[in-house]
Amino acid sequence: MKNKVKELREQQGLTQAQLGEKVGVSRQAINAIEKNKFDPSIWLAYDLALFFNMSIEELFDFKESERK
């Protein structure tokens, strides 16, 4: 599922580790989400959207997702 996590993280000057710490996951989890290798749980998607002050739908592009 395509997302804006990397773009927004970089705009805020955060490393993957720093973002992971803020939302309670590892750097590896953030890396996998950014590379579209891992779809986050609804709770992690919510935490990321809340952190970036946007809706889940704004952060993650469900229309482009292969899983439906």
Q: Please give the pLDDT value at position 18.
A: 98
Tally of domains within the chain:
1
Q: Please give the pLDDT value at position 67.
A: 58
What pLDDT, in 10s, does the model give residues 28-62?
A: 999 999 999 999 999 999 999 999 999 999 999 87
CATH number at residue 22: 1.10.260.40
CB 38 within 8 A of CB 66: no
User: Looking at the domain assignment, is residue 18 inside a domain?
Assistant: yes
Distance of alpha carbon 63 from alpha carbon 11, whole angstroms? 24
pTM of the model: 0.88
Q: Please give the pLDDT value at position 48.
A: 98
Q: Please give the pLDDT value at position 1.
A: 78
Neighbouring C-beta atoms of residue 10, cutoff 10 Å: 13
User: Looking at the domain assignment, is residue 67 inside a domain?
Assistant: no
User: Looking at the domain assignment, is residue 53 inside a domain?
Assistant: yes
* C-alpha distances in Å from residue 20, one per residue of 31, 42, 44, 68: 9, 16, 10, 27
Distance of alpha carbon 13 from alpha carbon 34, whole angstroms? 15
Per the structure, the complete domain to which residue 46 belongs is given by: 5-59
